[in-house]
Chains A and B, each alone.
Chain A
């Protein structure tokens, strides 16, 4: 089983749609969780950290379920500028500095 698995995608959605990305991780000792966004041929950029209580940043909502080792990202009212690859990221355990990335899910928002 891969350490971090994401929906394979790609997701093609119309502007204004709501889209959800799912991710599972295998290391139960992981303590920190993130979503990064990566535009084509660019570096990954931190989108948001994910907390057990869930967190929201504008149109973006992230959820963490430690019992199921599951992370989600919800994007509401999709914009053309949301088109990118979304990477699910976890650290490798307590006190670990090593980030493990999923393969990413590509999102295309269509006019």
Chain B
């Protein structure tokens, strides 16, 4: 069974740029959630995708957007990057029968300069 994978592992961008992060869900999982974890904080929910549709969103501005593909993999896009967007971005997958039992990928560490 393949676990959750994310790419890239690290990324450095400058303010104003755009970034796309990628996630492949665990085999058999059809739901993907994205979280932002700032240094010293717990992860914060960004949004969740189920069957290619957004299935809930946390308190993040519209410049955070996402996609889910037919194979259940997902992308997180962030436009107009700000310094405060520097964080670890975590993707978590789950089965629709138990969406609150989520399994995390290793994350993408984004640094905005």
Contact = CB atoms under 8 A, between A and B. Distances in A.
Nearest to A32: B100
Interface stretch (A14-22, A63-71, A74-82, A99-107): A99-107
Interface residues of B, number: 25
Interface in A48-89: 49, 87
Interface of B: 31, 33, 35, 40-45, 48, 50, 55-56, 58, 90, 94, 99-107
Interface of A: 4, 32, 34, 42-46, 49, 87, 91, 96-104
Given A34-B100, A97-B94, 20 more contacts: A32-B101, A34-B101, A42-B106, A43-B104, A43-B107, A44-B43, A44-B104, A49-B101, A87-B42, A97-B48, A97-B55, A97-B56, A97-B99, A98-B33, A99-B45, A100-B45, A102-B42, A103-B40, A103-B42, A104-B42
